[in-house]
Amino acid sequence: MTASASAPGPQFTNAAEASRPEVLVRSVPAVVEHATDALVTSTRAALALPTDRAIVMSGHQADLWHCGILAKWFAMHPIASRASAHAAWIVVDHDTNDPTSIAYPSRGEQGPVRAAWKWGGEGAVGESLLPTRLRASRTLTNVPSAELFWSPTVHDAMERAHTALHASANATDLAEQLTRAGSQLLAPVTRATPSIVMARRIAATPVFRSLVRTMLKDPVACVEAYNAAAVSFPKAGIRSLECKADRVELPLWSIQRSRRPLFAADRDCSGQDLGPEDSLAPRALMLSAVLRLAVCDLFIHGMGGGEYDKVTDAWLSGWLTESSRGRTAADPELRSLLDQRLSRGAAVMAPSMVVSATVRLAFPEVVVPTPEEIDRTIWLAHAGRHRLLGEPDASLGAARKRALVAAVDAARRDSAGVLKPRRERRAALAAYRELHAALAASRAEHASALAELDRNAAAARAARGIASIVHDRTWSFALHSKEALEGLRNAVEAAL
């Protein structure tokens, strides 16, 4: 087999070097403009945020997140500093994520395996389905024994996480416990700690109440625009809301003893009585709309948020700026904000950008291919049996196979592309046999090279489990060393 037709074995990666950060930044705005509309000022005052400067914001659920999320935290300070702005982080405490378990790499017979420290214990039945703001803070179970961890470094990091979570165990709820613990763990590597805004406070803000009054006056107009936007961006994965004559699902949650969807019939559609402030919470697009309308002057998303915010833009535009029906229903405070911004040619909502990163834990002396290399190696073994090998140039073998396939097809169809009657397709059978004879001859001539590809593929399949551990980017930031987190912070700052 010639070098051009052969394929290398798995390209192995030194996993000890895998912790070097890879940073992604998209759509950095040239300037961050400070909005001073009346609705903006009253909303920020309600959240105890500064009203005399711009706000740069990001956020996530209450958890000890992975480093892709942490990149957003690190991005706020340099952007805010350059714009003389204030940084703020919103904790989405009405989400039902379960932060009471931290995955870690443990020792297995063949290499590292995934294990988890259930630091919050088992909890009551069904408790993991509640929003983190409705779950009580936890006393902690002990960290697993050091010998169970893949490395002493990761065990020591988990002990630090235990200390921070224990120090925050007197928090009013689980969301606050995670937020306080995360801030404590990040303090040594954070340039300036941002203001923390718990999402439970959003429902009391003027902009949220104004938006809800507007959607209750004409819920069908709101939801039709929402659904049209969701359909326009299928990659975002936003589900359309139910919209029937007697059942209109709103982009809101009802938060009481649990979290459930809210329907227009559940509230006074005159918009005069919205119910208790702590009984409502915005869904993802609604929260983004509230924040970008009046809470911040720039929002930093991760990869997922960058996709779904395309839907937010299209929804608000279709509902409140392009539709006279939506504008007519708009609450006076909201209509005033929209009119002022549109009259001066400004965007209705603050801009958003995307920041993310990949940081992997270091696994010294573990050598495995990346998942991409594994897939490539397995594909090469499969493809080798369906190629005509041995030509001086691999492209000649591919061209010869294409010509034989074309001959088979040409013998089966007439000039209009219509399949010929069976009796007229004998030439196709001859061409088909010629193609497979050529493939069989190629396999026989290059049997040893194909066997090598098969061995490479088998080794790659065997390495898939370990590779999923070594190349995982979703380990909690709490497991990474101070030096690795500083490296991520510096890489984010350099990318901005």
**pLDDT tens across 282-321, in order?**
999 999 999 999 999 999 999 999 999 999 999 999 999 8
pLDDT band at 473 (very low <50, low <70, confident <90, very high): very high
Tens digit of each residue's pLDDT (9 = 90 or more) over 265-280: 887 555 555 666 678 9
249 pLDDT more than 70: yes
Structure tokens at 439: 């493939």
pLDDT band at 7 (very low <50, low <70, confident <90, very high): very low
Q: Are strands 55-61 and 280-282 parallel, antiparallel or unpaired?
A: unpaired
Q: Supply the pLDDT for residue 202.
A: 96
Q: Are strands 298-301 and 280-282 parallel, antiparallel or unpaired?
A: unpaired
User: What is the share, in percent, of the chain residues with pLDDT greater than 70?
Assistant: 89
- Integer angstrom CA distances of residue 229 from 275, 301, 353: 28, 19, 19
Are 339 and 430 contacting, i.e. CB atoms less than 8 angstroms apart? no
Other Cβ atoms closer than 10 A to 5: 20
Q: Supply the pLDDT for residue 412.
A: 75
Q: Residue holding tokens 């209450």?
A: 62
Structure tokens at 280: 């409502």
Q: Supply the pLDDT for residue 6.
A: 37
Top pLDDT among 231 and 8 is at: 231
Element containing residue 397 per DSSP (H, E):
helix 394-412
Q: Supply the pLDDT for residue 276.
A: 65
pLDDT band at 246 (very low <50, low <70, confident <90, very high): confident
Q: Residue holding tokens 């982009």?
A: 251
Tell me the C-alpha distance between 53 and 258, whole Å. 37
Three-point CA angle 390, 395, 399, nearest 5°: 95
- Integer angstrom CA distances of residue 207 from 61, 168, 230, 252, 274: 22, 32, 23, 14, 13
Element containing residue 343 per DSSP (H, E):
helix 332-343
pLDDT band at 76 (very low <50, low <70, confident <90, very high): very high
415 pLDDT more than 60: yes
Other Cβ atoms closer than 10 A to 91: 24
Q: Supply the pLDDT for residue 390.
A: 54
CA 10 and chain centroid, separation: 29
Tell me the C-alpha distance between 422 and 429, whole Å. 10
Structure tokens at 149: 């961890």
- Integer angstrom CA distances of residue 485 from 77, 177, 217, 470, 471: 15, 22, 48, 18, 17
For helices 482-495 and 67-82, angle between their N-to-C axes, nearest 10 degrees: 50
420 pLDDT more than 80: no
Q: Are strands 86-92 and 55-61 parallel, antiparallel or unpaired?
A: parallel
For 237, the 3-state DSSP assignment is coil
H helix runs in 14-168, sequence order: 38-46, 67-82, 152-167
Q: Residue holding tokens 């493939």?
A: 439
- In eight-state DSSP terms, residue 84 is T
Tell me the C-alpha distance between 253 and 262, whole Å. 5
404 pLDDT more than 90: no
Mark residue 289 as left, alpha or beta (left: phi above 0; alpha: psi -120 to 50; beta: remaining): alpha
Mark residue 96 as left, alpha or beta (left: phi above 0; alpha: psi -120 to 50; beta: remaining): alpha
Nearest to 349 by CA among 287, 294, 281, 285: 294
141 pLDDT more than 90: yes
Taking residues 323-346, report their average pLDDT.
Answer: 85
485 pLDDT more than 70: yes
Q: Supply the pLDDT for residue 355.
A: 97
Tell me the C-alpha distance between 257 and 259, whole Å. 7
pLDDT band at 3 (very low <50, low <70, confident <90, very high): very low
pLDDT band at 223 (very low <50, low <70, confident <90, very high): very high
170 pLDDT more than 80: yes
pLDDT band at 78 (very low <50, low <70, confident <90, very high): very high
- Integer angstrom CA distances of residue 251 from 65, 225, 238, 262, 264: 26, 11, 11, 8, 10
Tell me the C-alpha distance between 484 and 299, whole Å. 25
Element containing residue 311 per DSSP (H, E):
helix 303-316
Structure tokens at 337: 């904000």
Q: Supply the pLDDT for residue 268.
A: 58
- Integer angstrom CA distances of residue 48 from 24, 84, 91, 194, 280: 31, 18, 15, 13, 20
Q: Residue holding tokens 């041995």?
A: 390
Task: Provide the terminal-to-terminal Cα distance of the chain, rounded to the nearest Å.
Answer: 48
Structure tokens at 39: 């609705």
Are 286 and 202 contacting, i.e. CB atoms less than 8 angstroms apart? no
Give me the amino acid identity at 383: A
User: What is the share, in percent, of the chain residues with pLDDT greater than 90?
Assistant: 61
Q: Supply the pLDDT for residue 177.
A: 98
Structure tokens at 78: 């340099």
Q: Supply the pLDDT for residue 54.
A: 96
